[in-house]
Amino acid sequence: MLPGVLLISHGSRDGVWVSLVEEAVSHLQLAEEIPVAVSFLELVEGRLIQDGINELENEGVTDIIVIPLFVSSGSTHIDEIEYALGAKAVPERETELTPFRVTARIHFGYPVDDDPDIAVMIWDKIKELSKNPERETLLLVGHGSRHEGFRQRWERGITSLAARVRELSGVAAADYGLLNPDSVRSRVEYWQAQGHDVLVAPLFLSEGYFTKAVIPRRLEGLEYAYSGRTLLPHPLLPRWIERQTEAALERLRRGQ
C-alpha cells in the first residue's frame, strides 16, 4: 500500500488565488513522507483533478486520500466530485462532470464546515475590527445554495461555526447570512435594530469577486465593519489538512 493525498479546490484564473492554496500545502508537516498533489475543479489548465490523479498514480500511489478544500459540505461541487471519483454511485444533482480515470482506491475526506481551527482563523482575520464586543454581532457570510438538501447542509455548518467563533471571541452574538438565497442584508438590519454593531466576516477560501464586489454591494448604505479578509493565508490551514490526512492514514493502517 502506498498512500497519497489529492487536495482539490475550486480554482481561479487569478494566479494569486492559486498560489495561496499552493503555499498552504507547502507548509504541510506530515508524520510520514507521502506524495501530495494539488488540483483544481476548473480554470487552472494542467492542474485539474485528472492531472492530480495521474501525478499520484504515476508515483505508484494505490490509495488516494482526497481532501476537498471547500468551505461547506453544502457545496454541490462536493457532490459531483465525489461521484466523479467513484466514491459514491450516484450524484444527488445532475452534473456535467464525467467520471475520472482512476485505478487507486479513493478515500474521500470532508470540507471545512465547522472545524474548530477554522473558527480561530475567522476570528484572527476580523478581531482587529472589534471595539466593543459586549454589543457586537459577528455575521459570517457564505455563498450558500438554493438547492434543497444542500442549503440545509450550508445552514447547519455555518450555524455551528458561528457559535464556535462567538465562544472564542466573546462577542455578544454570532449569526450568518447567505448570498444564496440572499439573507445577508436582512441579517445586518436585524442586528442593527437590536442595537448591535455588526462585524461581517466572509466565509470564503480566498479573496475574489464575491468578497470584493458582491458582499459590499448587498450591504450598500448600511453601517458595518468589514475587512474582506478570507481564510487564506493562515498558518492553521495546513494543520487542518494535516489532521485530516493523519486520521485517514490511521484508518488505512487499521484496514478500514
What DSSP string describes 155-184? Answer: HHHHHHHHHHHHHHH--SEEEEEEEETT-H
Instruction: List the beta bridge partners of residue 140.
Output: 176, 201
Strands 3-9 and 63-68: parallel
Share of the chain above pLDDT 70, in %: 100
Same domain? For 184 and 105 the reply is no
CA atoms 225, 180, 97, 60: torsion sign: positive
Which structural domain, as residue segments, surrounds residue 61?
Answer: 3-112+234-253
Same domain? For 134 and 108 the reply is no
> Is this model's pTM higher than 0.85 or not?
yes
Same domain? For 9 and 105 the reply is yes
Asked whether the predicted pLDDT for residue 256 surpasses 80, the reply is: no
pLDDT digits (tens, 9 = 90+) for 70-126: 999 999 999 999 999 999 999 999 999 999 999 999 999 999 999 999 999 999 999
Same domain? For 7 and 106 the reply is yes
Same domain? For 78 and 121 the reply is no
pLDDT band at residue 184, thresholds of 50, 70 and 90? very high
DSSP H helical segments within 7-48, as ranges?
A: 15-26
CA–CA separation, 142 and 74 (whole Å): 11
Asked whether the predicted pLDDT for residue 189 surpasses 90, the reply is: yes
At 87, give phi and psi (nearest 5°). -80, -15
Same domain? For 101 and 10 the reply is yes
CA atoms 243, 45, 74, 184: torsion sign: positive
CA–CA separation, 38 and 241 (whole Å): 12
Q: How many folded domains does the chain comprise? A: 2
Asked whether the predicted pLDDT for residue 40 surpasses 80, the reply is: yes
Residue located via cell numbers 436582512: 186
More confident residue, 207 or 90: 90
What would the grid cell of residue 247 be? 486520521
Asked whether the predicted pLDDT for residue 234 surpasses 90, the reply is: yes
Same domain? For 78 and 130 the reply is no
Same domain? For 98 and 142 the reply is no
pLDDT digits (tens, 9 = 90+) for 122-132: 999 999 999 99
Cα–Cα–Cα angle for 162, 167, 172, nearest 5°?
A: 80
**CATH (domain of 85):** 3.40.50.1400
